[in-house]
Amino acid sequence: MASITLDHLAHAYRPDPRDPQDYALKEINHVWRQGGAYALLGPSGCGKTTLLNIISGLVTPTQGRILFDGKDVTNLPTEARNIAQVFQFPVVYDTMTVRENLAFPLKNRHLPREAIAKRVEEIASRLDMTRVLDRKASNLTADAKQKISLGRGLVRSDVAAILFDEPLTVIDPHLKWQLRSTLKELHRALDLTMIYVTHDQTEALTFADTVVVMHDGAVVQTGTPEELFERPAHTFVGHFIGSPGMNVLPVRVDGATAHIGDVAVRLARAYPALPAGEKIELGVRPEFATLARAGTGLPVRVKRIDDIGRARIARVEIAGHAAAAMVPDGLALDGDRAGLALETRQIHIYAGGVLVPGEGGVG
Ligand SMILES: Nc1ncnc2c1ncn2[C@@H]1O[C@H](COP(=O)(O)OP(=O)(O)OP(=O)(O)O)[C@@H](O)[C@H]1O
């Protein structure tokens, strides 16, 4: 295992990159801690695979260095990096048994027979594959084959890191849920550095202690699932994480008051120095916005109410802008007029999409 440092790393596929848009991966500085469980989360095309390929050595970055435990590996090939990888689709030897498949990476490293047997049994048991250990891989389902791929990634205890690239794509939805928890348990038990690439927020948030969110080739936030939820560093993170995502409303801010059209909203902090020329927005998650009787809180019009099982969500309009809010049990509405109560401390202000910390704590 190793800590992995990305030092001023950037990558452009075109040979003559000039401006930021030419980079598939914009400059990133990051340390993947030894033993950490990380998710690399972002929509299709945001640069996740490019970054993963730089870590594994399949792509040499245009700029910057990559260090494993302080040693520069930027120009080392994949074989010299001691990385395990699990891809979207199964990579297994069909003619071998499950046991032989799992043992293969260890045999290659010339581990003693007893050590191999013990480790294979352990990994098979954790993946619930003990019963099929002596079956040929070719006779198994796609799900089971992908479990073998996961096992082959996990079986070596000496790897610098395990990289998972959307590993549950081919897995049946029911089993997917179970495997997500299994991977989390395996991380705790095996003490390996794991980097899990996905575009699925549920997968990222269940697996990772730290989530690295990417958007348009750049890392927009690195944090725990709680931090991403409670303090999105970018409006993209607010939108992308959460269901429904964060409300983002254009505002004019005057000290510790935001104005959404002619509706004034009191803020917990003051914003005396917002950059001129940037779009200023207020962000508040629906979970911190509660519908109330008309005449209390901020005036809104209710467009519709969606029942999403665990909660009822009101789709409202505030000063002409759409927003979502929670509907408390027992609230009786009179027509489409209602009030909106916002949790002041959970309101964030963004300039050009980026969180502005604000000053002091008002109220
Ligand atoms: N070999 C390549 N040559 C040129 N451009 C590439 C190459 N590979 C990726 N790109 C471009 O780089 C950008 C980032 O792609 P990348 O595959 O890293 O994103 P991703 O987040 O992994 O997306 P996906 O989940 O769809 O694979 C995209 O605009 C893509 O078109």
Q: What is the ipTM of this complex?
A: 0.97
- Alpha-carbon gap, residue 21 to 24, rounded angstroms: 8
Task: Let me know whether 249 and 101 are in one domain.
Answer: no
Task: Let me know whether 251 and 174 are in one domain.
Answer: no
Secondary structure string (H, E, C) spanning 76-96: CCHHHCCEEEECCCCCCCCCC
Q: Are strands 161-165 and 194-198 parallel, antiparallel or unpaired?
A: parallel
Q: What is the pLDDT of residue 362?
A: 53
| Residue 22, H or E segment | none
- Residue 362 covered by a domain: no
pLDDT means per 10 residues, the chain with 363 residues, are 91 93 96 94 95 95 96 94 92 95 95 96 95 95 94 91 92 88 88 92 92 96 96 97 96 96 96 93 98 95 93 96 96 91 97 93 57
Task: Let me know whether 22 and 138 are in one domain.
Answer: yes
- Closest ligand 1 atom, residue 166 Cα: 25
Query: Of 233, 259, 294, at which residue does a domain stop?
Result: 233
Strand partners, 181: none
Interacting residues of 133 by C-beta distance below 8 A, sequence separation 6+: 97, 98, 99, 102, 120, 121, 124
- Is the minimum distance from the CB of 54 to ligand 1 under 6 angstroms? no
Task: Let me know whether 329 and 205 are in one domain.
Answer: no
Task: Let me know whether 291 and 212 are in one domain.
Answer: no
Task: Let me know whether 70 and 187 are in one domain.
Answer: yes
- Residue 238 covered by a domain: no
Task: Let me know whether 24 and 154 are in one domain.
Answer: yes
Centre of ligand 1 to C-alpha 261, Å, is 40
Q: What is the pLDDT of residue 257?
A: 97
Query: Of 233, 262, 296, at which residue does a domain stop?
Result: 233
- Residue 361 covered by a domain: no
Task: Let me know whether 229 and 247 are in one domain.
Answer: no
Residue to probe by mutation, ligand 1, list 9, 46, 50, most atoms within 8 Å of CB: 50
Please tell me the total count of domains within the chain: 2
**CA-based angle 45:349:249, to the nearest 5?**
75
> What is the domain range of residue 58?
4-233
Task: Let me know whether 116 and 138 are in one domain.
Answer: yes
CB-based contact 335:246 (threshold 8 Å): no
> Among residues 290, 263, 262, which one has the least CA distance to residue 346?
290
Q: What is the pLDDT of residue 5?
A: 97
Query: Of 233, 260, 280, at which residue does a domain stop?
Result: 233
Q: What is the pLDDT of residue 216?
A: 95
Q: Per this entry, what is the length of the chain?
A: 363
Task: Let me know whether 19 and 163 are in one domain.
Answer: yes
Task: Let me know whether 142 and 278 are in one domain.
Answer: no
- Alpha-carbon gap, residue 28 to 140, rounded angstroms: 41
The whole-model pTM stands at 0.92
- Is the minimum distance from the CB of 212 to ligand 1 under 6 angstroms? no
Residue type, 170: V
Task: Let me know whether 292 and 334 are in one domain.
Answer: yes
- Residue 16 covered by a domain: yes
- Residue 363 covered by a domain: no
What is the number of alpha carbons within 13 Å of residue 111 lying toward its C-beta?
A: 20
